[in-house]
Amino acid sequence: MIYAVMNQKGGVGKTTLSLALAACLARTGARVLLIDADPQGSALDWAAARQRDPLFSVVGFPRPTIHKEIAHIGQGYDHIVIDGPPRVTDLARSAIMAADCVVIPVQPSPYDIWAAEEVVKLIEEARVFKENIKSAFVVNRKITNTAIGRDVADVLANYPIQVLKATVTQRVIFAESAAQGLAVFEIDPTGPAAAEIEAVAAELKEYSK
């Protein structure tokens, strides 16, 4: 399965979710490749900061030919996670075309919800060539007990895209783990952050079958 984690707005936790999803899939014993298609290379920085054995492979490939080369790059892997670029470009279109399922992290703010329209348009463009492509919103960096945190799923339902029931809350552990090149379950395997990521991964796997 190939997941592309995409959003055209910065600060939504795209790389954090990409890394967490890849780590969660690898935790089951699957062979996982994370393709860092963001020119900023944050996932590569995470891999460089890691002192332990790798959980999964990380390669940098910020080129608009991912969809043409994904079969070669991803040969032998059970799952591929693409950490997509932050703007509407040929690179973003290529990442979407390479994917079986596009995962769109959205922070619960009006600006993020409005910005999601750009990704939705790209997915609709891709559907002309790849009609079976799936897509899903993940409410990410949610702040507990806020009205917009509760209402965001209702607003996103206006788009023709699945909204996952599982959500991810804003937690310090995500920043702490990133700085050390670790997955959240390596720091706190039974904590709420690990449980939230497990729930997102499980729902995505079920949805994208």
Most confident of 91-105, 132-146, 155-169: 91-105
Reference 103, options 36, 3, 19, 12; nearest CA is 3
- What's residue 86's pLDDT? 83
Give φ, ψ of 180 to 5 degrees.
-100, 0
- What's residue 146's pLDDT? 67
Place of tokens 């944050």: 42
- What's residue 75's pLDDT? 96
- What's residue 35's pLDDT? 98
**C-alpha triplet 28, 191, 164: angle, nearest 5°:** 65
- Taking the CA atoms of residue 48, residue 141, residue 111 and residue 106 in that order, the dihedral angle to the nearest 10 degrees is 80
- What's residue 63's pLDDT? 95
| Token pair listed for 204 | 């995505």
Q: Is the pLDDT of residue 209 over 90?
A: no
Q: Is the pLDDT of residue 66 over 70?
A: yes
| Token pair listed for 41 | 């290379």
- What's residue 154's pLDDT? 81
CB 12: neighbour CB atoms within 10 A?
Answer: 25
* Amino acid residing at 115: A
**Binning pLDDT at 50, 70 and 90, where does residue 34 land?**
very high
* Structural contact between residues 68 and 23, judged by C-beta atoms closer than 8 angstroms: no
CB neighbour class for 48 (10 Å; exposed up to 12, middle 13-18, buried from 19): exposed
Which residues, 6 or more positions from 208, have their beta carbon under 8 angstroms from its beta carbon?
A: 1, 3, 100, 101, 134, 136
- Cα separation of 53 and 141, whole Å? 28
Mean pLDDT of 127-145: 91
Q: Is the pLDDT of residue 180 over 70?
A: yes
- Cα separation of 137 and 3, whole Å? 12
- Structural domains of the chain ordered from first start: 2-207 (3.40.50.300)
Mean pLDDT of 77-103: 94
The model's pTM: 0.95
Reference 82, options 178, 92, 107, 141; nearest CA is 92
**Binning pLDDT at 50, 70 and 90, where does residue 149 land?**
low
* Amino acid residing at 193: A
Place of tokens 């499980």: 202
Q: Is the pLDDT of residue 199 over 70?
A: yes
- What's residue 74's pLDDT? 96
